[in-house]
Structure 1
Amino acid sequence: MSTHEGAPAGVEVLVPAEPGSPVVLITDCDHDSFDAEIAVAQQAGVELRLAQARSLDELVAAATGAAGLVVQYAQITAAVMDAMPGLQAISRYGVGVDSVDVAAASARGIVVCNVPDYGTEAVSDHAIALALAASRGIARLDRGVRAGRFDLEAIRPVPQVRGSIFGVVGVGRIGHATALKARGLGYDVIGFDVQAPAGATEYHGVPVAPLDEVLRRADVVSLHTPLTEATHHLVGGRELALLRPAAVLVNTSRGGVVDTDALVAALRDGGLRAAGIDVHEDEPVPLGHPLTRLDNVVLTPHLAWYTEESYTELKRRTAQNVVEAIAGRRPRNVVNGETR
């Protein structure tokens, strides 16, 4: 571990800088390299530090003197901000900023940034892959072959793609890309988006309808909405009951958009045929979690965003956002607009 004058104990200095230079702290991160962030920091002349801090006490201790934070999982609350009077910017790896109290940041004049469009192709690819894998029972068939079983009944009914209806909930960048790919495969696509004007029949080129109608009609429902107070458990017991028993649910957005207990019950009791889930209310998924014991679920560990290209872009742009903000320039992606 590198050390540097002024760095708190247990904090690695990735890029040392001249005394008095701004400090950016990566609060926590499970990535395997930081080459992109290092290159940005070196070019900007800022000191870049790395910690693995999640709790309030850990964050406050690690972030001494930091002007900017780069965040993966850590919860950046008002209490964290109040303990860091020099904090100017928070930049999160990824699209969602539900781990940051954005209102508190705005009230304190702290800029909050994200990277909303880095994983559009990767996540939409993954959503389609999960939809097909769950619809055709690929994982269950694979396990059967390895165990010497031929079990068609376990995956029936298997509908063909052409003529099936693919529902997209959230027709933003990723949802729109997913809709286009689904249409290219032969699905009939229908969508829902809270931002669509009242009475609209099309939004961003996708036919739209009320959420309940999409849920009732779709053979596959793919979720692409951010996690907010309004979308927490957007798909719960009532919504799952609207789905046809032969339908498939795919979630590559945020785990909290779906009520996990209700999803487990629907999958277990036959209310829903299958699901493909990349994001989870508890991450990492606990060993023995009920979802892991169901054969009609395809699970991946919140990696829909990953391709080599998206990985590099995410890291570079997350670092660029925080560096721009602490330099007094407007970053490319600001979540909270004007601060005071």
Structure 2
Amino acid sequence: MRIVVLDDYQNVAAGYAEWEALGAGLEFVSHAIIDTADLVQTLTGAEVVVAMRERTHFSADRLSQLPDLRLLVTTGRVNASIDLNAARAQGITVCGTESTTSATPELTWGLILSVLRRIPAEDAAVHSGGWQSTVGGDLFGHRLGVIGLGRLGSQVARVGAAFGMDVVAWSQNLDEARAAEVGARAVSKEELFATSDVLTVHYKLSDRSRGLVSAHELSLMKPTSVFVNTSRAGLVDTDALMAALHEGRIRGAGIDVYDSEPLPVDHPLRSAPRTVLTPHLGYVTEDTYRIFFTQAVEDIAAWAAGEPIRQLS
């Protein structure tokens, strides 16, 4: 049995689980595979593939070119980059893993503080021999707007309350009782954008939510406000966000997710002013990887024994 573990960007997957217990041929791929031809060449002859979240797409067309594939394991329980119907029709078993729910909210606050207090710029200044050059913003007594109050948004909201912030939230079906459970108040979408000092997105991407944050919503924001997205790039009009940054209509932005990943070298976001950019690190933590890869090994072993677990299709 040949097993290929994709998107091991940091060359660490081998150390997070007992892969040798599978007694199979293993290959860890550390570079991103964008081109379909490269993907097919890499995976030809592989019966089992482990995919890291949504880094590599498995469309119906791509799956049809992988006749040897029998088991596709994705880290996490949901992967929009896998065509589950096509996999099912082709007789490919798809299994997932559990994951932490704390990693992304923690990174969200790292980005909020980094943008608001200009931490990267001040760090660079100190390392280059300089000293104070910016004046940071504040959290206590200011308003946090949370777009989407699910598992992750709720954790972000609770931390905001602990900072002494006035926490408000919006989603299409949010009511006051649900918001109150996490120390927030439900407000209209317009009020949230117009009055929040920090706005953070934690919404599920779907056809209905794509472009949820458009030029209109961004135009409502205060020039002193900060925008953070650790959810999905498709929720936000990237061009409109860059325009707001270049025109100085918002204080800054912290971004962890992009329309194209890895972010192209010449992408204009890389040179956008007042931004803190991280390379989709929301789930990239030691505890998360330990769960991902340990359970991936469990999934493979169970499937090989004829009793697949954590099946998605």
Would you say same fold, with TM above 0.5? Answer: yes
SS at match of 2:203: coil
SS at match of 2:168: strand
Asked if 1:324 is matched to 2:305, the reply is: no
**Would the aligned equivalents of 2:148 and 2:169 in 1 still touch at CA under 8 Å?**
yes
Of residues 63, 71, 93, the one that matches 1:81 is 63
Asked if 1:98 is matched to 2:80, the reply is: yes
Aligned partners of 2:68 and 2:266: how far apart in 1? 43
Q: Deviations over 1:81-115 (max 9, x none)?
A: 22334533322245762332234224445343444
**Would the aligned equivalents of 1:89 and 1:326 in 2 still touch at CA under 8 Å?**
no
Q: Offset of 1:46 from its aligned partner?
A: 4.3
RMSD: 3.1
Q: Deviations over 1:154-204 (max 9, x none)?
A: x57x2x32222222223333222222222222222223345x46x554159
Aligned partners of 2:16 and 2:288: how far apart in 1? 14
Aligned partners of 1:293 and 1:85: how far apart in 2? 42
Residue 296 of structure 1 is matched in structure 2 by 274
Aligned partners of 2:77 and 2:235: how far apart in 1? 15
Q: Deviations over 1:189-246 (max 9, x none)?
A: 223345x46x554159234344444323321111223433333332221221232222
Q: Offset of 1:79 from its aligned partner?
A: 1.8
**Would the aligned equivalents of 1:171 and 1:204 in 2 still touch at CA under 8 Å?**
no
Identity of aligned residues (%): 31
Q: Offset of 1:266 from its aligned partner?
A: 0.6
**Would the aligned equivalents of 1:71 and 1:92 in 2 still touch at CA under 8 Å?**
yes
Q: How many residues align?
A: 306
Paired AA for residue 225 in structure 2: A
Structure 2 spans left out of the alignment, 5+ residues = none
Residue 265 of structure 1 is matched in structure 2 by 243
Asked if 1:137 is matched to 2:115, the reply is: no
Aligned partners of 1:191 and 1:108: how far apart in 2? 43
Of residues 152, 168, 179, the one that matches 1:174 is 152
**Would the aligned equivalents of 1:164 and 1:219 in 2 still touch at CA under 8 Å?**
yes
**Would the aligned equivalents of 1:278 and 1:299 in 2 still touch at CA under 8 Å?**
yes
Residue 9 of structure 2 is matched in structure 1 by 30
Of residues 21, 42, 63, the one that matches 1:43 is 21
Structure 1 spans left out of the alignment, 5+ residues = 1-21
Residue 222 of structure 1 is matched in structure 2 by 200
Aligned partners of 1:44 and 1:103: how far apart in 2? 28
Correspondences of 1:1-340 after superposition (within 5 Å) = 22-36=1-15, 39=18, 41-51=19-29, 53-72=33-52, 73-94=55-76, 97-115=79-97, 117-118=99-100, 120-143=101-124, 146=128, 148=130, 151-152=133-134, 155=135, 158=137, 160-194=138-172, 196=173, 199=175, 201-203=177-179, 205-206=181-182, 207=184, 208-325=186-303, 327-332=305-310, 334=311, 336=312, 339=313
SS at match of 1:163: coil
Aligned partners of 1:209 and 1:95: how far apart in 2? 31
Aligned partners of 1:77 and 1:260: how far apart in 2? 24
Aligned partners of 1:328 and 1:223: how far apart in 2? 41
Please report the TM-score for the alignment, with normalisation by the length of structure 2. Answer: 0.82
Q: Deviations over 1:263-322 (max 9, x none)?
A: 110111122211111222233333454333344111222223333333322322334334
SS at match of 1:202: helix
Please report the TM-score for the alignment, with normalisation by the length of structure 1. Answer: 0.76
Q: Offset of 1:249 from its aligned partner?
A: 0.7
Aligned partners of 2:146 and 2:303: how far apart in 1? 34
